[in-house]
Amino acid sequence: MFKLRRFLKDYIVLLIIGPLCKLTEAVLELFIPLVTADIIDNGVHKGDASYVLSHGALMVLMGALGLCFALVCQKSASITSQGFGTKLRNAMFRHINTLSHAELDKIGTPSLITRMTSDINQLQVAVAMLIRLVIRAPFLVIGALVMACTIDLKMSLIFFISSPLIALVLYIVMNRSVPFFKDMQKKLDKVSLLSRENLSGNRVIRAFNKQNEDENNFEKANSELTETSVRVGRISALLSPVTYIIAQAAIIAIVWFGSVSVNSGGLQTGEIIALVNYMTQILLAMIVVSNLVVIFTKAFASASRINEVFDTQPSVTEKTGGYIGIDQSAPAVEFRHVSFGYGDGGNALKDISFVADRGKTIGIIGGTGSGKTTLVNLIPRFYDPREGEILVSGTDVREFPFSQLRQEMGIVPQKAVLQSGTIRSNLLWGDTDADEKQMIKALKMSQAYEFVSKLPEGIDSEVTAGGTNFSGGQRQRLTIARALVRNPKLLILDDSASALDMATDAALRSELAKIEGMTVFIISQRVAAVKNSDRILVLENAELIGQGTHEQLKENCELYREICVSQGIE
């Protein structure tokens, strides 16, 4: 948690003012029992109404001042904790955006969401409590002990016996419950994961009638989280009864021995009441301390999870330097003996070599899991290969700044995802300076203009999160249009026409063929989508087993021939 203190540097003044105000409030609170005792002994007993009223007014004034200091502290705590959370959340979001796909795959989206929400909220609570209670609670305990000593040393022995006993109970309960808090956050991750899968894949779940199975999985994860929470709750439930028993026993002892002392003239009634008040203050302060232990335990667990994200460095790093000159005579893309694998697993690509000349169309076909998507993801450096080189315009992709490398590319991922907003705002992702003429041209090329033009608001029509208000085919055409708006030199279509009918797919490919100088990579399971490509790459079990034109592969590649036969392609 201390590693995150840098996010508090703008709130140093409030971090000082807040605890000082709370400390002042605690000092006033410690003097109130003495004033109460004075009123009873010198006002009530003597029947001096003016003395009672004057000192009562003093108590009201002290209470009002305490309230003012508490409000200042509360405001300081609110500003600091919320500001801290905002800065931390922004920094974490920026850092996550620097991570490469490998790190995002490893941590997982649900876990990152939990860390940015629940874990940061825990830290915000801890910062607020740091300002409001961390100084006040221990000060009240120590101050009450000191004030008890000033009243009567013998009676203060009760305080010095009961206080360590309460502290021991707190230690035992906290020591047993603390290990469960980190476990709770991990189980909360699991619940978040299942929730996200259910919400994002709800249609698939219903289509396969798996609602009951999905509900059972969620109930199991939720039950595990509940079981851990209940276990912590049962242990923590012992805290209040045991500590109250000790405190009440101490109060009984104070009253018992105090009454004897009052009878003998050693103490006055008001002083006994003051001692009882101090014991109550110690009890309440100890309870606050126990709650602080819980809060800070959760905060330390959350901080370690957040620091884990900050400590994760991208495996794909950008080389510092300026703009790289483009060799127009070099091939658009070249793979030289490239091998790649995810994490510590086996190779997802093995010794891949091919050349994609400028202005040519490269088709990629193969079975599921053969490495098609992995191959094209290496071109914009979403991942780096384990071995070999990937060249764009004759230069290793690792030499390019990310902005330059990806600016010239139009990438349409396998899953068509649109951002909430409008069709226009989504198209502007491709080119922020695009005018309406460019957008309409891109929509026409992607075969999307036909349905967009029929919408009441045209390109200003609303797009919900993920584009769920459009069909799968419409989303795919809009994502293709988004890529075409920037007029890319290299277009990657990762099975992005799978939801299109054959006629629309053919019309799309016909429009793409008209664009001069653009190199196109088309991944598809359909032979019809790649058969007219200038070069077709056939992948199987992470290996490139054939490359050439449609006719060449039909003669030389058995797998390609089998795919053609299965799809009735001549």
Query: How many domains does the chain contain in total?
Result: 2
pTM: 0.72
Q: How far is the first Cα of the chain from the last one, in angstroms, to the nearest whole number? A: 65
Residue 12 in this model has a pLDDT that exceeds 70: yes
Indicate whether 2 belongs to any domain: no
Residue 200 in this model has a pLDDT that exceeds 70: no
pLDDT at residue 182, rounded to an integer: 67
User: Domain check: are 355 and 306 in the same one?
Assistant: no
What is the residue range of 486's domain? Answer: 333-566
Average pLDDT score over residue span 426-435? 87
Backbone angles phi, psi at 248, to 5 degrees: -65, -35
Taking the C-alpha atoms of residue 478 and residue 448, their distance in angstroms, rounded to an integer, is 6
Fill in the DSSP letter of residue 417: -
pLDDT at residue 72, rounded to an integer: 93
User: Domain check: are 382 and 277 in the same one?
Assistant: no
Q: Which residues of 37-72 are buried (b: 16+ CB within 10 A; e: fewer)?
A: bbbbbebeeeeeeeebeebeeebeebeeebeebbeb
For helices 423-430 and 436-445, what crossing angle results, to 10°? 90
Taking the C-alpha atoms of residue 129 and residue 124, their distance in angstroms, rounded to an integer, is 9
Amino acid at 78: S
The H-or-E segment that residue 123 falls in is helix 120-132
pLDDT at residue 1, rounded to an integer: 67
Residue 191 in this model has a pLDDT that exceeds 90: no
Residue 318 in this model has a pLDDT that exceeds 70: yes
User: Domain check: are 51 and 134 in the same one?
Assistant: yes
User: Domain check: are 46 and 112 in the same one?
Assistant: yes
Rg, Å, the chain Cα set: 35
Taking the C-alpha atoms of residue 165 and residue 156, their distance in angstroms, rounded to an integer, is 15
CATH (domain of 247): 1.20.1560.10
Structure tokens at 6: 């840098």
Given 278, 311, 344, the domain boundary residue is: 311
Indicate whether 232 belongs to any domain: yes
Residue 355 in this model has a pLDDT that exceeds 90: yes
Backbone angles phi, psi at 353, to 5 degrees: -135, 130
Residue 336 in this model has a pLDDT that exceeds 90: yes
Tokens 């058969």 correspond to 531
* C-alpha distances in Å from residue 348, one per residue of 54, 339, 368, 388: 85, 8, 12, 14
Indicate whether 4 belongs to any domain: no
Structure tokens at 4: 């995150």
Q: What is the 3-state secondary structure (H, E, C) of 389-410?
A: EEEECCEEHHHCCHHHHHHCEE
258 in Cβ contact with 275 (< 8 Å): yes
Highest mean pLDDT among 115-124, 182-191, 321-330 belongs to 115-124
Residue 470 in this model has a pLDDT that exceeds 90: no
* C-alpha distances in Å from residue 509, one per residue of 114, 235, 363: 42, 66, 12
* C-alpha distances in Å from residue 107, one per residue of 1, 114, 193, 309, 367: 20, 11, 12, 8, 28
Average pLDDT score over residue span 423-450? 89
SS3 364: strand
Indicate whether 118 belongs to any domain: yes
SS3 170: helix
pLDDT at residue 89, rounded to an integer: 93
Given 311, 341, 357, the domain boundary residue is: 311
pLDDT at residue 241, rounded to an integer: 81
User: Domain check: are 162 and 31 in the same one?
Assistant: yes
186, burial (CB in 10 Å: exposed 0-12, middle 13-18, buried 19+): middle
Indicate whether 323 belongs to any domain: no
The runs of H, that is alpha helices, within 133-210 are 136-151, 153-200, 202-207
536 in Cβ contact with 365 (< 8 Å): yes
Residue 503 in this model has a pLDDT that exceeds 80: yes
User: Domain check: are 350 and 487 in the same one?
Assistant: yes
User: Domain check: are 138 and 181 in the same one?
Assistant: yes
* CA 147 to chain CA mean position, Å: 47
Structure tokens at 330: 């070099």
Taking the C-alpha atoms of residue 188 and residue 196, their distance in angstroms, rounded to an integer, is 12
| pLDDT confidence tier of residue 54, bands split at 50, 70 and 90 | confident
pLDDT at residue 83, rounded to an integer: 92
Taking the C-alpha atoms of residue 232 and residue 92, their distance in angstroms, rounded to an integer, is 30
466 in Cβ contact with 413 (< 8 Å): no
pLDDT at residue 528, rounded to an integer: 86
Indicate whether 324 belongs to any domain: no
Indicate whether 434 belongs to any domain: yes
User: Domain check: are 298 and 440 in the same one?
Assistant: no
Amino acid at 152: D
Given 311, 343, 359, the domain boundary residue is: 311
pLDDT at residue 292, rounded to an integer: 82
Residue 453 in this model has a pLDDT that exceeds 70: yes
Average pLDDT across the chain, whole number:
85
Instruction: Please tell me the total number of residues recorded for the chain in this structure.
Output: 570
User: Domain check: are 351 and 227 in the same one?
Assistant: no
pLDDT of 56-104, one tens digit each?
Answer: 888 889 889 989 998 999 999 999 999 999 999 999 999 998 888 888 8
Indicate whether 391 belongs to any domain: yes
User: Domain check: are 383 and 266 in the same one?
Assistant: no
Pairing of strands 387-392, 333-341: antiparallel
Using alpha carbons, select from 252, 315, 238, 299 the residue that is nearest to residue 280. 252
pLDDT at residue 240, rounded to an integer: 73
Q: Which residues pair with 340 in a beta bridge?
A: 349
User: Domain check: are 382 and 471 in the same one?
Assistant: yes
Residue 281, C-beta contacts closer than 8 angstroms, at least 6 positions apart = 29, 30, 33, 140, 144
Residue 158 in this model has a pLDDT that exceeds 80: yes
| pLDDT confidence tier of residue 260, bands split at 50, 70 and 90 | confident
- Asked whether the CA dihedral 138, 139, 140, 144 is positive or negative, the reply is positive
Structure tokens at 30: 């410690």
CATH (domain of 399): 3.40.50.300
* C-alpha distances in Å from residue 541, one per residue of 63, 165, 351, 390, 401: 77, 67, 12, 20, 32
Tokens 């590649």 correspond to 557
User: Domain check: are 345 and 260 in the same one?
Assistant: no
pLDDT of 378-419, one tens digit each?
Answer: 999 988 999 999 999 888 988 888 888 888 888 888 888 888
Tokens 């006040």 correspond to 136
Taking the C-alpha atoms of residue 433 and residue 407, their distance in angstroms, rounded to an integer, is 13
Taking the C-alpha atoms of residue 115 and residue 121, their distance in angstroms, rounded to an integer, is 9
